[in-house]
């Protein structure tokens, strides 16, 4: 007869499973007068004859059931398309809430002293937009990947296997989220709008972007192309597992800093939208709210520049990274 561990008594211990916060573990919880083998690949039966046999022993004292390994089962809820779209909506909503909010602070509350920087001026705008992107990613990242930008979604579909059937739904959710955020910012600052621009004829730029040189639209187009190419190029670099990724905790911060850098370096020619949803959603709101010179239904029709150029720029940036850098990093299969 085999000698059982001291923890074994004259009765064979029954194995029970209990749920512990999404994981399953096996533990001995109480003695029972009969041997119970719950899962044969988790137990080792020690005793005469075949150790792997589950046949009833001639005498209970001749056998002892002891665990050979623990079981860990990660229970991760499966995201549905509806959950992903909600995450994209809320992530973009927060992004635009902070982004247009900081522009409203600078434009609607001017200084009374000529030449004085207004509430941090353009520096505040670039920092505000960068932090806005970071916060949006933290909200949506775990569920949808936090694209928050149709240019990112399109680039992921072309170069990373993102499902094409989700591209349009993601883009719509992002655009609607941006529109809703613009509406909330307008509501919050409504008294300031009435004081600074009662006719709503020169403040649509709080919500959307316009070219610095309206007669030279190709200049703004090139600016958006370069800016978005840089954005996607660097996002792909930061999130590439074969490169030097900062990890899930710090990637949102790094991407926010990328947006700050692009704004500081390429923000003057067309307001550095670098995101079709960020521009077109709030522009739609300005139409609904009755803003003049909105670039869509009134004034120069410039709305297409920050929509088309970022989509093309994102593809260019992704192609540069994959064909220039990633192919040298990815180990051969």
pLDDT of residue 266: 94
pLDDT of residue 237: 96
Structure tokens at 80: 């549905």
pLDDT of residue 65: 42
pLDDT of residue 75: 47
Q: pLDDT tens, 57-94?
A: 444 334 344 444 444 445 455 679 999 999 999 999 99
Cβ-proximal residues to 89 (8 Å cutoff; 6+ apart), any chain:
173, 174, 176, 177, 180
Residue found under tokens 């883009």: 171
Cβ-proximal residues to 284 (8 Å cutoff; 6+ apart), any chain:
175, 179, 296
pLDDT of residue 247: 86
Q: Where are the domains of the chain?
A: 13-67, 81-329
Euclidean distance between CA atoms 104 and 332, whole angstroms: 51
Euclidean distance between CA atoms 288 and 282, whole angstroms: 10
What is the DSSP secondary-structure string of 39-56? -GGGEEEESSS-TT--SP
21, 73 contact by CB (below 8 A): no
Q: 23-31 and 43-46 as β-strands: parallel, antiparallel, unpaired?
A: unpaired
Euclidean distance between CA atoms 79 and 99, whole angstroms: 28
88, 174 contact by CB (below 8 A): yes
Quick count: other Cβ atoms within 10 Å of Cβ 158? 16
The torsion defined by the Cα of 95, 99, 102 and 103, in degrees rounded to 10, comes to: -160
Residue found under tokens 């589950």: 54
Q: What is the pTM of this model?
A: 0.76
Q: What is the domain class of 81-329 according to CATH?
A: mainly alpha
- Provide the β-strand partners of residue 65: 45
pLDDT of residue 253: 96
pLDDT of residue 118: 67
Euclidean distance between CA atoms 103 and 124, whole angstroms: 8
CA distances from 82 to 86, 143, 155, 162 (A): 6, 10, 22, 16
Of the candidates 135, 85, 99, the one whose C-alpha atom is nearest the C-alpha of residue 252 is 135
3-class state of residue 15 by DSSP: strand
Euclidean distance between CA atoms 110 and 125, whole angstroms: 14
The pLDDT tens digits along the chain (333 residues) read 444 444 444 433 333 333 333 443 333 344 444 444 433 343 343 444 444 444 444 443 343 444 444 444 454 556 799 999 999 999 999 999 999 999 999 999 877 666 566 677 899 999 999 999 999 999 999 999 999 999 999 999 999 999 999 999 999 999 999 999 999 999 999 999 999 999 999 999 999 999 999 999 999 999 999 999 999 999 999 999 999 989 888 999 999 999 999 999 999 999 999 999 999 999 999 999 999 999 999 999 999 999 999 999 999 999 999 999 999 986 644
């Amino acid at each position: 007869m085999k000698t059982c561990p001291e923890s074994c008594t004259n009765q064979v211990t029954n194995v029970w499973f209990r749920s512990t916060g999404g994981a399953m573990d096996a533990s001995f919880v109480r003695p029972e007068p009969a041997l119970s083998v719950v899962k044969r690949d988790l137990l080792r039966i020690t005793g005469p004859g075949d150790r792997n046999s589950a046949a009833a022993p001639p005498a209970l004292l001749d056998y002892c059931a002891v665990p050979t390994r623990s079981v860990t089962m990660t229970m991760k809820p499966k995201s549905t398309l509806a959950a992903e779209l909600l995450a994209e909506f809320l992530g973009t909503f927060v992004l635009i809430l902070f982004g247009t909010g900081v522009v409203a602070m600078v434009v609607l509350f001017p200084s009374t002293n000529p030449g004085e920087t207004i509430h941090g001026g353009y520096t505040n705008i670039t920092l505000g937009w960068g932090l806005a992107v970071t916060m949006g990613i933290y909200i949506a990242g775990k569920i949808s990947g936090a694209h928050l930008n149709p240019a990112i979604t399109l680039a992921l579909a072309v170069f990373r296997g993102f499902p094409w059937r989700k591209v349009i739904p993601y883009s719509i959710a992002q655009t609607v989220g941006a529109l809703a955020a613009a509406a909330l910012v307008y509501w919050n600052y409504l008294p300031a709008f009435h004081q600074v621009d009662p006719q709503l004829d020169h403040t649509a730029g709080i919500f959307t972007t316009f070219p610095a040189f309206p007669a030279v639209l190709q200049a703004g187009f090139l600016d958006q192309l370069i800016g978005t190419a840089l954005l996607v190029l660097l996002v792909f670099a930061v999130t590439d597992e074969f490169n030097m990724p900062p990890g899930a905790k710090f990637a949102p911060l790094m991407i926010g800093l990328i947006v700050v850098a692009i704004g500081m370096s390429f923000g003057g020619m067309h307001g550095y939208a670098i995101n079709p949803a960020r521009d077109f959603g709030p522009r739609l709101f300005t139409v609904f709210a009755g803003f003049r010179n909105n670039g869509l239904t009134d004034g120069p029709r410039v709305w297409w520049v920050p929509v088309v150029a970022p989509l093309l720029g994102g593809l260019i940036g992704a192609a540069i990274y994959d064909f220039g850098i990633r192919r040298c990093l990815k180990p051969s299969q």
